[in-house]
Amino acid sequence: MAPDPESVKRLQDQTVSAFRKLRGLDASKENDFEIVSNESMRAMFDNLATGVTNASAFMCFLSLIVGGIGRDEHHAGAVTERTREIGLRKALGARRMRILMQFVIEAVLLAAFGAPSGSRWVTAPPPSALPDLPGGGAALGGGAGDSGSRAASD
């Protein structure tokens, strides 16, 4: 074991010399063994951790896309089922922007409250993530509910 970090390289060189001598390798032949240090193990672990992080981020991105598509379809269905309500509001003089805002606000609120409650059913997120869930859900709901809301207000 090396007494200090500076002597690690010197000890590795001594170890390589001893192994080469033990295996009968002359100076012209390459090593037929490998020395693994804590630094090389750490670099390998860092590469693995980076790969896992990137894969997780990609899966989260995909699940947001799928959730947005599902939310959009749900919202479009809700708009289709409420054509009588929309027609009545138009007949009573509601402007396009009022009808649009009704559906956008509905989509944002449902997603803002649905994100934290849904994630509590599936898994318990860390307490530090709880403040982010309503905002992320609201953004997803606003974006996904936009097309159905525009269709309703036309």
Instruction: Give the number of other Cβ atoms within 10 Å of residue 125's Cβ.
Output: 14
Instruction: List all residues 6 or more positions away from 143 whose beta carbon is below 8 Å from its beta carbon.
Output: 68
d(CA 73, CA 134): 20
**Radius of gyration of the CA atoms of the chain, in A:** 30
Q: Where are the domains of the chain?
A: 8-153
% helix / strand / coil in the chain, to the nearest 5?
Answer: 80, 0, 20
Q: What are the φ and ψ backbone dihedral angles of 12, each rounded to 5 degrees?
A: -65, -45
d(CA 146, CA 89): 19
d(CA 77, CA 54): 35
User: Tens digit of pLDDT per residue, the chain (154 long)?
Assistant: 777 877 888 888 888 899 889 988 888 888 888 888 788 889 999 999 999 998 988 887 887 778 777 777 777 787 788 888 888 888 999 888 888 888 778 777 777 776 655 555 555 555 555 455 555 555 555 555 555 555 655 6
Nearest CA to 90 out of 99, 101, 80, 81 is that of: 99
